[in-house]
Amino acid sequence: MRHARRRVVRRVARLAAVGGLLLGGAMVAQAAMAGEPSPGSAGAPGPAGPAADPGPALVARLGTARTAGSWIGADGRAVVAVTDSAAARTARRAGAGAKLVRHSTNELRSATDTLRSAPRVAGTAWAVDYRTNRVVVRADRTVSAADWSRLSRTAADIGGFVHVERTEGTFTTRLNGARPILSAQGRCSAGFNVTDGRRDFILTAGHCGPAGSVWFAGGQGGGPLGRTVNSGFPGTDFSLVRYDSGSAGDGAGVVATGGGQGVRITGAADPAVGQRVFRSGSTSGLHGGRVTALNATVNYPEGTVTGLIETTVCAEPGDSGGPLFARGVALGITSGGSGDCVTGGTTFFQPVTKAMAALDVRLIVRARGAGGAPGASPSPAPTATAARGAAASGAASPGSAAPVTGAAPGRSLRARLTGTRSVGPGLLVVAGSLLALLATRYVRAEQDRRAYRRHYRANWG
């Protein structure tokens, strides 16, 4: 009986030691993976970005008569569309790829100007596709047969490089990003926090509400947030919501991405065609895609908006005004589009640089190590942090993941066990389990030796 109990104890000890090894190994492995941004994460660099893109500079240097835009190729290398061999050699010497095309930027712009001067048709959009060297005109399902025929004739009159196609869904604004904000007009998402040097504002979509609109913070116990003091729509699509408190509060430099996490934003820039980008919204959360065109035009039912960024990122009602960003850089605010986040679609964004220039504001940034004091550099800050707690700005490096304020207490056991801070405890668990396993093996071996000696003495003594 006593031997049976010992065997049970040894087995339980071995199983506990093996379980500790597995748990400790999982903690270390998961923490190591969590410390590295995944290729599809909002903080991951992606293949290339505007900072490393020589395309725009080459286009400006060669001129609009000899080029037709630039984009980021699948290999992360900049490609410039050029109209002659000499321009192609110049692009290649500068380290970019070159593609000979037939139509220059001047011709493509002339085509879009003709489309803009034609009778307006709600439910249509167009943009220059640099990679195919053509203007793509899309018409949604609300466009009548008569308007479709007229649009097709206009395109044919301009030339064969204007392509007309039907698109799924309808082109609508996404009124209803990261944080929900509510008014009498509906629900939108806060974009980025900005300042004029005296007061702080939320930069969001213009179609969310006209000047004078009163906003409330979304979520539990949302109180008064602010009032729209400047709005541009249609034509453009941006607005300023002035905080009632005058301040955006702590965490003004982190975009909320869901699950109590956020991404630190460090600056603002214009995107490049082909660049990997991310959008956060209060309805659909975080989604990624690529920039497909710049300076796009959309004829919403409410009016025409020009100069937009066209992307493959999905969006849904309520995501309007939410932030578009990549590599820790603010790029745009959600305007509208077609489709949804189940079937996919096209989404358009107001460039954040143009909005800030028109409104004479700059993005708020919290200098690291400054105790939350606003920094001097014009870096972006995201979603309405002061709209009741967006994110802790001091919690992450530029472009990296950061916890959203107030989220830590609600972390699950799994999140705590697999977080990056679990590497040390995980190694301790592994070491303790190994010692326990070795100890049980030693005890068993010692007991076997003693049993052998007793048996030997009983038979030969």
Give catalytic residue positions. 207, 237, 320
Question: Cβ distance 380 to 191 under 8 Å?
Answer: no
| 257/284 Cα distance (integer angstroms) | 10
Residues 159-168 as b/e (b if ≥16 CB within 10 A, e otherwise) read: eebbebeebe
Which residues have CB under 8 Å from 87's CB, separation 6+?
62, 66, 67, 80, 98
Other CB atoms within 10 A of residue 99 CB: 17
| 433/431 Cα distance (integer angstroms) | 5
Coil, helix or strand for 224?
strand
What is the CB-side half-sphere exposure of residue 103 using CA atoms within 13 A? Answer: 20
Phi-psi region of 69 (alpha: psi -120 to 50; beta: other; left: phi over 0): left
Other CB atoms within 10 A of residue 278 CB: 24
Coil, helix or strand for 320?
coil
Closest CA to 56 of 206, 226, 273, 260: 273
Question: Cβ distance 248 to 193 under 8 Å?
Answer: yes
Which residues have CB under 8 Å from 238's CB, separation 6+?
203, 204, 205, 206, 231, 232, 333, 350, 355, 358, 359
Residues 238-259 as b/e (b if ≥16 CB within 10 A, e otherwise) read: bbbbbbeeeebbbbbbbbbbee
Coil, helix or strand for 121?
coil
Strands (E), 119-243: 124-129, 134-139, 162-166, 172-173, 180-183, 186-189, 192-195, 200-204, 214-217, 224-232, 238-243
Cα-based distances in Å from 308 to 112, 236, 271, 342: 13, 8, 11, 23
Question: Cβ distance 187 to 175 under 8 Å?
Answer: yes
